Amino acid sequence: MRHTLAVLVENKPGVLARVSGLFSRRGYNIESLAVGMTENPEISRMTIVVEGDDRVLAQVTSQLSKLIDVISVSDLPPSESVDRGLALIKVSADTDTRAEVMQIAGIFRAKIIDIDAETLVIEVTGDKGKIRAIENMLGRFGIKEVVRTGRVALHRGTKTVGGEYR
Amino acid sequence: MTDTPISGAKALINCLKNEGVDTIFGYPGGVLLPLYDELYDSDINHILVRHEQAGAHAADGYARATGKVGVCLATSGPGATNLVTGIANAYMDSTSIVAITGQVPTPMIGNDAFQEADITGITLPITKHNYLVRDVEDLPWVVKEAFYIASTGRPGPVLIDLPKDITTDEFEFIYPKKTRLPGYHPDVGIDDAAVKRAASMILDSECPVIYAGGGVIISDSSPELLRLAETIQAPVTTTLLGIGAFPQSNPLSLRMLGMHGTKYANYAVQESDLLIAIGARFDDRVTGKIDAFAPHAKVIHIDIDPAEIGKNVRVDLPVIGDAKMILQSLISHLQKMQTRSGAWLGKVDAWKKKHPLQYEQSDKVIKPQYVVQEIHKACPDAIIVTEVGQNQMWAAQYFQFENPRTFITSGGLGTMGYGFPAAIGAKVGCPDRTVIDIAGDGSFQMTSQELATVSKNKIKVIVAILNNSYLGMVRQWQELFFDERYSYTDISQSVDFVKLAEAYNLVGIRAEKPSEVPAAISEALSADRTVVIDFVVDPMENVFPMVPAGAAINEILDPEVAA
C-alpha cells in the first residue's frame, strides 16, 4: 500500500540527509520526495510517498518522529487529501505532428512552454495517473526527455498538519 | 552571566560546568589547542586517554555507573573517527554521552583540509542527534540541547562538532535556561487507559513472565520492578543489559534469557501466557527464531520509545512512557490482586531445580566459570565490567548481581575492547567502588594501551583476564558449527600479560592452577594500583546453555549434547 506523509521539519542544514539516511538504512522505499519551505521560513515541509503495509507505515512514522529536527509527521489518506506532481516532457514534434501533440496537451490541460522546429516542451501537473496517461499518449511521437517533481499533498477542507508549530 | 565578551573555548567550559560536568575523557590535537588551553586552568578533571576510542568507552562506562552524562573529547579528523566505535556502542545500548569533536575552521570545511573529516555526516546514523556549530552565538544553545537530548527520553549519544574558529571567536556569554526544540518531546506522560488494560491482562493471566531490559536500569525503576513482581508473583528474566535490574537472589529471578540465558528462563518465556516486556527491545539474541518466540503469550510492551513497538514482534498492548511512572501506576491498580495459584511458580521452580547453570569443575585446570564465582565470593558488591565474548557470558551467568548499575557490558554492538576503558570510566565516576573488568585475552588486547592511562592517573581497576589463548566465542562456534576448523582464532603465546602490566608500572599476577585463584583475587583487591590477573583457563571450555543462532529459544544445546 502507498502512503503519503506530510513531514514538518526544522529548516536547518542537513535535515534532508537525516531523513533520507533514515529511509535507506532502515530499508524503507521512498517512491517520491518533495521538500520546500512553508509559510513559516523556519519550517520546511516534506511530502514523502512511501510504499509498505501498516506495520511499515507505523515504523516509518515513529522512526521519523524520533529525529530531533522532525516536528510532526502526518499521514494523508487519498480520500481526505489532494496531491499533485509536475512533469516536464520534451517530445518530438515537427510540422506534420505538432498540431496533434498540441491537441493532446490541450486535452490534458497541459501547457506548451517551449517550442523549436523539432520538439515541444510540455508542462503537465496532476496526480500520478494523469501524468502517466499523457506520457502514454505522447510516446508514439518520441519522448526525448522527462523530468518529474516529487508529489506534494494537502488535506482537503480546513484541516492542516503540524498544529501550533506552523 | 557576564558582560565582557569571552571566547568560544571559555564559553564551552562554562557550559559544561553549567551542566554539572566534572570529568572529561579526552585527547588533544591541533584544532583543539584553544580549548585545551582553557582546560589547563579549569577545575574540570580531564583524563588523558591513549586512544580516542577509549575516551568514548570511558565516558560510556562513567555514564552507566553513575547515571550522569559521560563526556569525551577528540580532535578533528582521525581523533573524531576514532570515537566512532564508542559512539555506535553508546547508541546501541542507549547510553547518554556527549562527544565533543574539534573541526577545521569554518572557512576550510568541505575543502579536504588537513585532519578534516565530516564527523556529523559519519555519525548521523549512530547518534541520537548531532550538531556542527557554525556560529559561536549558537554554542550555549547547542551544549544545553545536547545534554538535554542525551539524557532524556530514550538516552543516547549526542555529538557536537566544534570548528576551531568557533573556539576563538568572542561573544557575550549567556547560558540559556530553556531549549529550542520544537520536534523533541521526551515527556510523554502515561496513558491511563493502557495501564488499566495492562492490569486487567495481568489479572487474567495464569503464567506471566516479566522480561526486563536496560530501560529498567536507565529509568531507575528497579524498586518498582521488584514490587510489581512480588505483587503479581511473576518470575522475572532480564536481558544482558537488564542484569542488575532485579536481584538474582530473589526466588522470582530467572536470571538472563536468550542465546546464553538459563534454560529455565527460556522455558518459562516459551510457556508463558503473558509476557510483560519493560524497557527491552526483543533483540535477536533474546528471541532466537522470532516466529517461535513466546508462542502462547500475549505481549505487553512498556517502553519510552514508540519506534520499538512492533519492530520485531507483534505487541498486544503497547504502553508508552517512562517505565518508573508506568510501573508505579500499574502497581496501584494491582494492589487488590488475589494471590496467584501456585501452579505456575511451581512449574518454574521445578525447571530451576532440574536445569541449573552448571559446569564441570576441575582441580587441574582453571575453569573460567570458577574464576567468576570466586570473584563474586571475594567481592560481591563490585561493579563488574566485561569485554565481549565468552568472558562476557560467563560473567553474566556466574556472578550474582543484586543491584542496578553493577554490571556494565557492551550488549547491542558487542564491542571487543569496551570493557577496560569502560571500567576506567566507571571507577572515575565511582571512586569508592571496586571495579573489575572480566576480560578475555583477545578483547583486552584491543584497548590495553589504556594501562598507561590508569598508571599515570593512579586509577585502580582490576583486569581479570580469562586467558584461554583463543578468540574463544568464535572458536566455540567453529567447534560447534564449522567442524572444529579453528580458522585464525588461535592467539596463544603472543603476549605475557604479567610483564605487560609491569611495563606500565602496574601489578601483574598469573594464576595457572585452580588453587591459586582465590589468592590471586585477594592480592589484586589489596593492591594499591591497577592489577592485571592472567588466569590461564581451560582453552576448550564453552559457554552453555546455548541456543544456536536462528533456533527457537527452547532448542538448547547443553554440555551433554555437545560433548
Mean pLDDT of B148-165: 98
Gap between the Cα atoms of B414 and B387, Å rounded: 9
Domains of chain A: 2-75 (3.30.70.260), 82-152 (3.30.70.1150)
Gap between the Cα atoms of B424 and B57, Å rounded: 9
What residues of B are in the A interface, CB distance below 8 Å? Answer: 120-121, 124-125, 128-129, 132, 134, 149, 181-184, 305-307, 309-311
pLDDT at B562 over 50: no
Cβ–Cβ of B124/A58 closer than 8 Å?
no
Query: Angle formed by the axes of helices A98-107 and A128-138, to 10°?
Result: 160
A contact test, residue of B103, B134, B311, B313 with most A CBs within 10 A: B311
Mean pLDDT of B89-98: 98
pLDDT at B2 over 70: no
Give residue-wise pLDDT tens across range B39-62. 999 999 999 999 999 999 999 999
Nearest chain A Cα distance for residue B270, angstroms: 24
Strand order in the sheet with A70-75: A29-37, A43-51, A2-10, A70-75
pLDDT for residue B558: 78
Mean pLDDT of B234-238: 97
Give the list of residues 6+ apart from residue B522 with CB closer than 8 angstroms, or none. B378
3-class DSSP string for A122-134: EEEEECHHHHHHH
Which of chain B's residues have a Cβ under 8 Å away from the Cβ of A55? 310
Chain B touched by A38 (CB under 8 Å) = no
Residue linked to cell 562538532: B161
Cβ–Cβ of A67/B183 closer than 8 Å?
yes
User: If pLDDT is split at 50, 70 and 90, which confidence band does A166 have?
Assistant: low
Residue linked to cell 583540509: B113
Among B124, B181, B310, beta carbon nearest to A21: B124
How big is the CA angle at B84 (ends B185 and B43), to the nearest 5 degrees? 75
Mean pLDDT of B335-345: 75
pLDDT for residue B561: 45
Nearest chain A Cα distance for residue B121, angstroms: 8
Structure-model confidence comparison of residues B340 and B75, the more confident one: B75
Gap between the Cα atoms of B30 and B115, Å rounded: 9
Set of cell numbers at residue B298? 500475549
pLDDT at A164 over 50: yes
User: What positions of B carry a catalytic annotation?
Assistant: 52, 114-115, 164, 473
- Which chain A residue shows the shortest CA-CA distance from B123? A18
Domains of chain B: 6-171 (3.40.50.970), 192-354 (3.40.50.1220), 368-543 (3.40.50.970)
pTM for the full predicted model: 0.95
User: Is the CB of residue A29 less than 8 Å from the CB of residue A79?
Assistant: no
Cβ–Cβ of A9/B124 closer than 8 Å?
no
pLDDT for residue B560: 57
How big is the CA angle at B37 (ends B33 and B42), to the nearest 5 degrees? 140
Mean pLDDT of B172-180: 95
Give residue-wise pLDDT tens across range B114-127. 999 999 999 999 99
Nearest chain A Cα distance for residue B80, angstroms: 19
Cβ–Cβ of B305/A66 closer than 8 Å?
yes
Gap between the Cα atoms of B456 and B48, Å rounded: 9
Give residue-wise pLDDT tens across range B4-18. 999 999 999 999 999
Gap between the Cα atoms of A159 and B215, Å rounded: 38
Give residue-wise pLDDT tens across range B485-526. 999 999 999 999 999 999 999 999 999 999 999 999 999 999
pLDDT at B425 over 80: yes
- Which chain A residue shows the shortest CA-CA distance from B148? A68
Burial grade of B163 (CB within 10 A; 0-12, 13-18, 19 or more): buried
- Which chain B residue shows the shortest CA-CA distance from A163? B182
pLDDT for residue B401: 98
Burial grade of A13 (CB within 10 A; 0-12, 13-18, 19 or more): exposed
CA A111 distance to own-chain centroid:
18
**Cβ atoms within 10 Å, residue B110:** 10
User: Is the CB of residue B319 less than 8 Å from the CB of residue B195?
Assistant: yes
Which of chain B's residues have a Cβ under 8 Å away from the Cβ of A13? 132, 134
Give the list of residues 6+ apart from residue B301 with CB closer than 8 angstroms, or none. B277, B308, B309, B315, B317, B318, B319
Gap between the Cα atoms of B545 and B355, Å rounded: 10
Give residue-wise pLDDT tens across range A6-55. 999 999 989 999 999 999 999 898 999 999 999 999 999 999 999 999 88
Give residue-wise pLDDT tens across range A84-139. 999 999 999 999 999 999 999 999 999 999 999 999 999 999 988 999 999 999 99
Gap between the Cα atoms of B340 and B204, Å rounded: 10
Count of pairs with CB atoms under 8 A, one residue in A, one in B: 42
Chain B touched by A10 (CB under 8 Å) = yes
- Which chain A residue shows the shortest CA-CA distance from B153? A66
The A residues from 75 to 94 touching B (CB cutoff 8 Å) are: none
Mean of all residue pLDDT scores within chain B: 96
pLDDT for residue B271: 97
Structure-model confidence comparison of residues B461 and A1, the more confident one: B461
pLDDT for residue B505: 98
Cβ–Cβ of A63/B307 closer than 8 Å?
yes
